[in-house]
Amino acid sequence: MIDLKSLKKDIPRPIRLFLGKAFLIFVIWKVVYSGFMYDSQYLDHPLTTHVAEASAALLNNLGDMSGFTTKRENTSFIFEGGKTIHEISAIYHNDIISLNIANACNGLEIFVLYMGFIICMPSSFWRKTKYIVLGILLLDAINILRCVGLIYLIEYFEIYFEFAHHYLFKAIVYTATLIIWGYFARKIQLKNDAV
């Protein structure tokens, strides 16, 4: 059986504080989001619509690609994990559906994960604020480029769409998140107290 008191002594205090804060933020986020904000008109819908509109605008101004429009639609289909999606932002190319963006794909979860890490690390308020704002803007831009890339694949190389959607672009988003975290953490000095 694991001796929790000796395990607590083996884990340095800064790491215990980080893990405690991270767990608390995770629980609060899940309770607040699941209970009050899931699929909300104030958070998910505007963010999903923003991603779709920014992707369509970028595509319309990118080379010879044009004719992209967006529309918020009510639909019902089973998404990853068995969730039923009822509302999506659809991107059309010349009135033919090109890509559906569900609320689960709007980047909100990665934003919260990213912010949670920054909040849990010891640093000044202004440094955390700067990294949160700039990091979210960068991750949002990467998510928009992900949608543009998926549409490009649908239009020209559909055989690669599933692989890119499920693996490649997720790896790119998480790698970018880890790189930003690395830049943030490089100047942090942890003070380890004596055990």
pTM (global) more than 0.85: no
Low-confidence residues of the chain: pLDDT under 50: 193-195
User: What pLDDT, on a 0 to 100 scale, did the predictor assign at position 195?
Assistant: 39
DSSP H or E run through 96: strand 96-102
Tokens of 65: 């690609």
Q: Is 142 exposed, middle or buried (0-12, 13-18, 19+ CB in 10 A)?
A: middle
Cα–Cα distance, 75 to 86 (Å, whole number):
5
Burial of 105 (0-12, 13-18, 19+ CB in 10 A): buried
Domain boundaries defined on the chain? 14-185
pLDDT at 163: 94
